[in-house]
């Protein structure tokens, strides 16, 4: 398991960070997003969609469980879930959503901790934390499997050192 920390200081930077992240993703990848209300899960998802070359309109899935976006220039469709309204994994399972883990697109799940017990072990986790004293700052903790083909170098511009990550967890 690799763990890296990143920081952004504005909505725009989070979008750009997402765009770079989107360029790192490959067919079958599942990105689990975790973070409180307003942490930036939807913002980064929109950036990721841009990075995947998605051209269809992206809207917030706040009142919808799933937004499907046909493949754009990156040739990967995006399945953007928001699990906020799910009570537990059983609802995910009953809705037939397990099938999405076995496809040739990219899956992003906001509030992924709600369904953590059914996520594939290869899921990449991105934990977002906010700081009340710095309202425009976001710290991102990315956990990915060591054997992943994921190229972290694309994200170097936002990386922060161990010393800077404060006492986050
Ligand atoms: N660095 C930053 N990155 C992202 N968003 C930021 C940043 N600084 C401030 N914000 C604000 O935080 C909010 C992020 O909203 P967003 O919808 O992306 O969060 P979310 O995690 O998806 O929330 P929800 O849990 O309601 O789905 C926006 O209001 C945005 O303006
Ligand atoms: Mg959201």
Give 147 Cα–ligand 1 centroid separation in angstroms. Answer: 31
Residue 56, pLDDT > 90, answer no
The reported pLDDT for the residue numbered 26 is: 94
User: Going edge to edge, which strands form the sheet with 106-110?
Assistant: 2-8, 134-144, 124-131, 30-34, 106-110, 78-82, 66-69
**pLDDT score for 104:** 92
CA 44 – ligand 1 centroid, Å: 8
Cα-based distances in Å from 3 to 12, 68, 130, 137, 143? 24, 29, 18, 19, 5
Q: What's the CA-to-centroid distance between 82 and ligand 2, angstroms?
A: 7
Q: What is the pLDDT of residues 97-119, one digit of tens each?
A: 999 999 999 999 999 999 999 99
Which of 155, 138, 167 shows the shortest CA–CA distance to 25?
Answer: 155
pLDDT per residue as tens digits for the range 8-44:
999 999 999 999 999 999 999 999 999 999 999 999 9
Pocket around ligand 1 at a 6 A CB cut-off: 8-11, 13-14, 35, 37-43, 62, 110, 136, 138
- How do beta strands 106-110 and 30-34 pair? parallel
Please, are residues 87 and 33 in contact by the beta-carbon 8 Å criterion?
Answer: no
Higher pLDDT, residue 56 or 94 = 94
Closest CA relative to residue 5, chosen from 142, 126, 112: 142
Domains, the chain, with CATH or none: 2-165 (3.40.50.300)
Question: What is the pLDDT averaged over residues 115-138?
Answer: 96
Q: In this structure, what are the phi and psi dihedrals at residue 11, rounded to the nearest 5 degrees?
A: -60, -45
- Token digits of residue 69: 């976006």
12, containing H or E segment: helix 11-24
Structure tokens at 167: 């006492």
How far is Cα 137 from Cα 76, in angstroms, rounded to an integer?
Answer: 30
Q: Residue 129: what pLDDT?
A: 97
pTM of the complete model: 0.94
Minimum CA distance residue for ligand 1 atom 30: 11
């Amino acid at each position: 398991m690799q763990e890296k920390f990143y920081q952004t200081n504005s909505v725009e930077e989070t979008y750009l960070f997402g765009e770079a992240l989107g360029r790192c993703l490959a067919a079958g990848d599942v990105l689990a997003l975790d973070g409180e209300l307003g942490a930036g899960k939807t913002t980064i998802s929109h950036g990721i969609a841009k990075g995947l070359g998605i051209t269809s309109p992206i809207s917030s899935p706040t009142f919808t469980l799933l937004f499907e976006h046909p493949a754009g220039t990156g040739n990967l469709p995006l399945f953007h879930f928001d699990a906020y309204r799910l009570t537990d994994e059983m609802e995910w399972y009953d809705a037939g959503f397990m099938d999405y883990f076995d496809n040739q697109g990219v899956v992003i799940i906001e509030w992924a901790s709600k369904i953590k017990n059914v996520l594939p072990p290869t899921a990449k986790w991105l934990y977002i934390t906010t700081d009340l004293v710095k309202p425009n700052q976001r710290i991102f903790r990315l956990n990915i499997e060591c054997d992943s083909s994921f190229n972290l170098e694309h994200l170097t511009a936002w990386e922060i050192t161990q010393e800077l990550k404060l006492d986050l967890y």
